[in-house]
Amino acid sequence: MASEAEIKELISEITGIETEKIQNDQEFKSDLQMDSIAIADLISSLEEDYDVIIEQEKAMEIKTVSQLIDHVKSL
C-alpha cells in the first residue's frame, strides 16, 4: 500500500511541485494545476507501482490529495 509520502512523491513527479509544498487539502485541478491526463497518470502510477485498483467512477469523485490518500489506504 502506498503511504502518504509516496503518494505526494508521485504527485510531485507529475506536477514538478516540491513534495513539501503539497498539502492534503489541495485540489488536483485548481490548486495543483493537474489536468485530467495528469490525474490519469497519477492513478495509473499508483495502480502499477502499488498493485491497487482504483475504479474509474471512484477516481472521478476524488478531488483532493487527502481524498486520494484515504481511498488508497482503504484498499
CA angle 34, 37, 43 (to 5 degrees): 85
Q: What's 18's DSSP letter? A: -
pLDDT at residue 22, as a whole number: 99
Q: Which domain holds residue 36?
A: 4-74
Q: What is the pTM of this model?
A: 0.94
CATH number of the domain residue 66 falls in: 1.10.1200.10
Take residue 10 and report the three cell numbers written for it: 508521485
Overall domain count for the chain: 1
Model confidence at 1: pLDDT above 90? no
Q: How far apart are CA 74 and CA 63, in angstroms?
A: 16
3-state secondary structure of 6: helix
pLDDT digits (tens, 9 = 90+) for 16-52: 999 999 999 999 999 999 999 999 999 999 999 999 9
